[in-house]
Amino acid sequence: MHIREMMLCRHTMLVLAAVVVTGVTAVPSAGAKVSVKRQLTPTGAAPSAQGQVVVVVAKHSKGKMQIVAHHLRPNATFNVVVNSVRIGTLTTNGGGNGRARFSTTPRGHDQLLGVDPQGQLVEVQDDDSGEDALETEMPPDTADAGDVQCCRTHEGEAECDETTPDKCTPDQGVNMGAGSCMPNPCPSTSPSPDEIACCVPDHDENGPECETATVDECMASQGVNLGAVACDPNPCAPTSPSTPEIACCVPDDEGVECEEQTADECTALGGTNLGTGTCDPTPCASTPPAGDIQCCRTHEGETECDEATPDECTADGGTNLGAGTCDPNPCTP
């Protein structure tokens, strides 16, 4: 269902409530700042990597997140993923160290924080391989269990506080139900027509869906605000390796083995790039050592093919069919 369809009834109720409280200035409760630190756990793709996530949540729906990482792949780009949605990037220097800052009100080099990371899986993902290098599950906000999102008007702006239902209603607040105030789920008193790309949770195999919506509509649907970007191509699609893999024929002691590698990895292994494809079934033909030929011998009444040198073939009474492989068998019965 489209976000606007889901919001129609709810938005109407909020508009009526806003009419009732027009001209009333309610001072939000003080609300303490909350800081949460969490160590990032390295994965098998980057076993020596280290990192930390710091989330700071302040009153009035404002928050920040900082990710610091060490011993990652140097001079590389990593995706920062929250709840399966890519929200930004982290770039490492020549020493493999990097830092990424996010804010609900970004300034300078801050990136937009359009989702509350609390209670979510945070991943630092290699942009080239698509593999997670660091990850952690952020603890949920359980300090005030039973609180709701309470929208109040303060100095002409709709602000959100997490409080109990009993405290919200007497203060002329609008109870938006359980949830986080970061980002602000409260409709602004002067709605902006500006639309953003909103990643709406959809836990099927296709991952989050992208909807063009206002900031208010996105927050009400518990979506992730990616800012003023288009939904085509889909910015919410699950991240995948930016470098495609190919079928690579790599020589080994027993002939040629097929491996699925990137083109650069294939070249480094001394392999032959067969282009996009899989290794099942193997597209690599067995290549005999230089100088070998197809040698047909008769063994127990059956004609068999061996890849051997011309001298070895003649010495064993075989028939030399010239250069080539024995797969498929070129020897006639």
51 with 133, same domain?
yes
Strand order of the β-sheet with 196-200 is 209-213, 196-200, 224-225
Task: Report whether the peptide linkage leading into residue 333 is cis, meaning its omega lies within 30 degrees of zero.
Answer: no
72 with 116, same domain?
yes
Percent of the chain past pLDDT 70, that is, above it, reads: 79
Query: Is residue 117 within 8 Å of residue 138, measured between CB atoms?
Result: yes
82 with 98, same domain?
yes
What does the alpha-carbon distance between residue 73 and residue 251 come to, in Å, rounded to a whole number? 28
109 with 176, same domain?
no
Stronger pLDDT, 304 or 201, i.e. the higher one: 304
51 with 106, same domain?
yes
Q: Please check whether residue 295 lies inside any domain of the structure.
A: no
Q: Please check whether residue 69 lies inside any domain of the structure.
A: yes
Task: Tell me: pLDDT of 68 over 80.
Answer: yes
108 with 150, same domain?
no
Query: Is residue 216 within 8 Å of residue 191, measured between CB atoms?
Result: yes
Owner of token pair 């709701």: 148
Non-local CB neighbours of 196 within 8 Å, separated by 6+ positions:
212, 213, 214, 215, 218, 225, 226, 227, 228, 229
Digit-coded pLDDT (tens) for 97-118 = 999 999 988 888 899 888 888 8
Cα–Cα distances (Å) from 268 to 55, 194, 214, 277, in that order, read 41, 49, 49, 19
Q: Please check whether residue 125 lies inside any domain of the structure.
A: yes
What does the alpha-carbon distance between residue 2 and residue 96 come to, in Å, rounded to a whole number? 42
- 2 token code pair: 């489209």
128 with 91, same domain?
yes
What per-residue confidence (pLDDT) applies to 290? 57
Please provide the DSSP assignment of 12-32 as one string: HHHHHHHHHTTT---PPP---
Task: Tell me: pLDDT of 288 over 70.
Answer: no
41 with 75, same domain?
yes
Task: Tell me: pLDDT of 187 over 70.
Answer: no
Query: Is residue 278 within 8 Å of residue 259, measured between CB atoms?
Result: no
Q: How confident is the model at residue 18 (pLDDT cuts 50, 70, 90)?
A: very low
Q: Please check whether residue 79 lies inside any domain of the structure.
A: yes
**Mean pLDDT for all residues in the chain:** 77
Task: Tell me: pLDDT of 27 over 50.
Answer: no
Helix (H) or strand (E) holding 48: none
pTM score, whole prediction: 0.50
Q: Please check whether residue 164 lies inside any domain of the structure.
A: yes
Q: Please check whether residue 220 lies inside any domain of the structure.
A: no
Over range 250-265, report the average pLDDT: 77
Among 137, 155, 177, give the residue marking a domain's end.
137
48 with 91, same domain?
yes
**Of 15-24, 148-157, 172-181, 308-317, which one has max mean pLDDT?**
308-317
Q: Please check whether residue 156 lies inside any domain of the structure.
A: yes
Non-local CB neighbours of 222 within 8 Å, separated by 6+ positions:
179, 200, 201
Q: How confident is the model at residue 23 (pLDDT cuts 50, 70, 90)?
A: very low
Stronger pLDDT, 192 or 237, i.e. the higher one: 237
Task: Tell me: pLDDT of 249 over 70.
Answer: yes
Instruction: Please report, for the domain that includes residue 125, its CATH number.
Output: 2.60.40
What does the alpha-carbon distance between residue 241 and residue 263 come to, in Å, rounded to a whole number? 13
Q: How confident is the model at residue 75 (pLDDT cuts 50, 70, 90)?
A: very high
Q: Please check whether residue 171 lies inside any domain of the structure.
A: yes
Over range 178-184, report the average pLDDT: 75
Q: How confident is the model at residue 17 (pLDDT cuts 50, 70, 90)?
A: very low
Residue range(s) defining the domain that contains residue 174: 145-187
Q: How confident is the model at residue 26 (pLDDT cuts 50, 70, 90)?
A: very low
Digit-coded pLDDT (tens) for 119-160 = 889 999 999 988 999 999 998 876 566 778 788 877 777 778
Digit-coded pLDDT (tens) for 31-65 = 457 788 999 999 998 999 999 999 988 765 678 99
* CA–centroid distance for 200 within its chain: 15
71 with 130, same domain?
yes
175 with 153, same domain?
yes
Task: Tell me: pLDDT of 248 over 60.
Answer: yes
Query: Is residue 131 within 8 Å of residue 45, measured between CB atoms?
Result: yes
Pairing of strands 98-103, 111-112: parallel
What per-residue confidence (pLDDT) applies to 2? 53
Digit-coded pLDDT (tens) for 193-244 = 577 888 887 766 567 788 888 877 887 777 888 877 777 777 776 655 445 6
Q: Is 299 helix (H, G, I), strand (E, B) or coil?
A: strand
Side chain identity at residue 266, one-letter code: C
Q: How confident is the model at residue 286 (pLDDT cuts 50, 70, 90)?
A: low
Q: How confident is the model at residue 30 (pLDDT cuts 50, 70, 90)?
A: very low
Alpha carbon dihedral 162, 165, 168, 169, in 10-degree steps, equals: 160
91 with 163, same domain?
no
Among 187, 217, 252, give the residue marking a domain's end.
187
Total domains present in the chain: 2
